Amino acid sequence: MLIANPRAVRAPYPAPLQALLSVARARESRQWLSQWDGIARGATPLYELPDLAARLGVARVSLKDESVRSPLGSFKALGAPIALVRQILRLHPDLDPAALLAGRHAALLQDYTVISATDGNHGRGLAAAARSVGCRCVIVLHAQVSPEREQAIAQHGALIVRIEGNYDESVTQAARLAAAQGWQVVSDTSYEGYEDIPRDVMQGYATIAAEVVEQTGAVADQPGAFTHVFLQGGVGGLAAGLASFFWEFHGAQRPSFIVVEPAQADCLLQSALAGRPARATGSVDSVMAGLACGETSPLAWRFLQPCVDGFMTIADAAAVQAMRVLAAGGARDLPIVAGESGVAGLAGLQALRADAAAARHFGLDGHARVLLVNTEGATAPAVYEQLVGEPAWAVRARQAAWRAR
């Protein structure tokens, strides 16, 4: 399903939104993150995929590859550490962010406990950050989170709490435990009375957009390298973090934003229809585990409603097919390991190009220059192998051979 958002505007970035998420604050977060040994020092690659662009009939397809951001394997390594550092600084404003991430204040924080619900990647990022700063971490997992993802979180020292039910129920349980135990929730989704930390998470995600601007030589208040940006849905945090940066940087010359989510976890599309944050209408059980969210983040929606031009849903089968497309590569396209949620943008692009009328409406033609974000690699290796038909290491081997030609 695809809808055009009648509330999207082409205007300078509004001051009330800039007070919440800004280019300046994103750059500060990026500088702090550059000193954390949990992520790579440099920017993640921005790959050109000319063969894919030719097949889709567009001028350019570029892919920002967050799978190599850190050993955690996803973009979530950008959000949780920044949110944790900013929360600790609220309690101890005299501490140095770099010293925090280096663990030099571990003695002070040894009795401080953070907690979050997760589909996998956010919990892994929070657990790694908590280990670095020296505080305790509790992660609540719902029934659909795979044992592989659980083990990846636990290896960073987090205490795991398992519940029945879905992601939204795990969010509720995390809030209950925090209230009962005096712990601090560090979540990537907002709810009534809880916005500061989700805002900080989104600000960390904006690092991706900041790097794209630099990598493409973009100029403020001018059109950038891309006419269209496809972004993953979920609760809306990633999309809000990136879209807000691009919107402020490019102003009224911003690219068109298309947000893509699973058909059975369509909370953002339903929000667009309702004109307010809404719940998904489906089962919320998707192979795209990181996007299997039933409720829109109200904070994220404040940014998405005025700037996202289209909202669309895709079937699980479309995501699996997109994983295989990127894994295969081409004569001019590097083979890429992209996880189930990482390919949502490509799946959306393929579906939109297959609908001539819709593509025409959104200006997705032979002149279009498209940015995709691969938000995760094979964060669940067994699931990746099952879906793609080969292990991630085999794709990486072909990648090495492609580069060696």
Catalytic residues: 76, 119
Of 274, 306, 383, the C-alpha closest to 339 is 383
Q: Which residues contact 223 (CB under 8 A, 6 or more apart)?
A: 250, 253, 255
CA distances from 213 to 250, 368, 376, 384 (A): 10, 18, 21, 31
Tokens (6 digits) for 67: 């799978």
Tokens 């500088």: give the residue: 31
Alpha-carbon Rg for the chain in angstroms: 20
Tell me how far apart the alpha carbons of residues 38 and 63 are, in angstroms, rounded to a whole number. Answer: 23
- Per the DSSP assignment, residues forming a β-bridge with 190 are none
Q: What is the DSSP string of 334-366?
A: ------TTTTHHHHHHHHHHT-HHHHHHTT-ST
Residue 62 phi/psi, 5-degree rounding, is -120, 145
Buried/exposed code over 276-299 (b: 16+ C-beta within 10 A; e: otherwise)? ebbbbbbebebbbbbbbbbbbbbb
The answer to whether the beta carbons of residues 183 and 139 sit under 8 Å apart is no
- Are the CB atoms for 178 and 185 separated by under 8 Å? yes
Q: Which of 332, 342, 344, 325 has the alpha carbon at shortest distance from 388?
A: 325
- What is the rounded distance in angstroms from the CA atom of residue 367 to the CA atom of residue 364? 8
Q: Distance of alpha carbon 101 from its chain centroid, rounded?
A: 22
Tokens of 278: 């809404």
Say how far apart CA 299 and CA 16 lie, in whole Å.
12
